[in-house]
Structure 1
Amino acid sequence: MASHSEWASKPFALCSTPTAALPEGQKPDMFDDIASTMAVTHNIMIRSLNSIYQQAPYVREPDVPAFLGYSLTWCQMLQLHHDGEEEMCFPAVERMAGEPGIMGTNVEQHAAFQEPLDRFKTYLQDSQKGEVTFDGNRARELIDEFGPTLTEHLHDEIPSLLGLRRFGVEKMKDLPKVFEAEAQDNMGKAGMVAGGMMAFMSHDVTFEGGLWKNFPPVPWILLVIIRNTVYWVHSDWWKFSPVDRYGQPQPQYARPEGS
């Protein structure tokens, strides 16, 4: 098996983490940690999107309802992430830095892909309601309208977070607390059986040589519950995921016949 979920690493490229790029023996500072955590989080979203894109044309009719549930959960996960940034993280960053507007570019990038993203979500909802017949090639066309802009933003946000180093650790010392609060808020809104589970099912523990195998840091008993109880609520969705319930790469489920 490949060292990571290669089929879900395209067409949209994954983010590399600043921590992995540090010279051997150099410990990451607070800004490396925050930017790397964001990169890993963004990769969860990119892998999920890639898995939708790669499989959409090959989903068999009996699997369409599960695939729509899976895809709509991705839409929710992404929307919660960006809303949380705009409502909680970005204003807090600007207050700490004492420079209003420094995160404005990130907000503008969100707006740039929102409309085509909404069209994709509406198409999925209309398919779910039976108002249109789901067409995987049409789904791909809609992803092509926002995917490049979205993923460019997800990559750009990493150096923008590293750039906060110029304000100094003392001034920005509450950054980890702010980003952790936003992550917890999003998890609560997403719910563990849908958005939360999708996050686990899109995090490849073998990425960057296993550097992020313990991400996210949760108690072992919670992992046991997630893998052995929560997973089964929508187990028909997770066959489309890049990884299995242990974070190990799994084969592409919906694929061309004979491949």
Structure 2
Amino acid sequence: MQLDSSIAAIVTGGASGLGAATARRLAGHGVKVALFDLNAEQGEALAREIGGVFCQVDVTSEEQVDAAFAKARAAHGQERVLVNCAGTGNAVKTASRDKATGEIKHLPLANFDRTIQINLVGTFRCIAKSAAGMLTLDPLEDGERGAIVNTASAAAVDGQMGQAAYSASKAGVAGMTLPIARDLMNEGIRVNAILPGLFDTPLLMGAPEHVRAALAASVPFPKRLGRPAEYAALAELLITNGYFNAECVRLDGALRMAPR
């Protein structure tokens, strides 16, 4: 797929981090970009910067997602590209003992469910609704109608302590890549996933410098945190290279995460 002003795209989690970098890169090719995010201040500012449209949306809400797709399509037409970056994370052990008091606690199921609902169900919700819209489009070269890129994580494969919910959600994103690609293969819609490692996103920007340095040092090479622009470059490749389909691609500097 060639990226130009004839293409409309939606980027979830597009107001910051990986999503914002991807939105900027797509817009740099003239693509009409709609940003789905909860953060209205950042989302509106970025939309003005790139000449896009912002849609305030919680991906766990069917009604808000429907309204966001309607707003984006009214502004730009039916999207051919969807990049799912909306997500959340936490670090709580499945069960643990307080060293001082001996009190035993477990991960609240509401906490687990929220992570699954945002990272996995929210991603699938956007995929299904976007793909249904893409089916209405005329095919391009090779019969292609659209391209979808999802964000899993290296934690889908080697999650750390406290990441049961996060790893389960991201493993689900990776695991559904092939069957969804197969569901959509006769309609010319490709589906791929990126498994980022440690990236310099807002989640880590607020960490103390010694923590950031330790994380960077744990990456085999290059010994630094990943840059959102590097994620965006890979997302672009997965969109423009028509032979990429049903792939889960690690982007982590050869990192294999330790237990903690």
Which structure has greater strand proportion? 2
Q: TM-score, normalised by structure 1?
A: 0.31
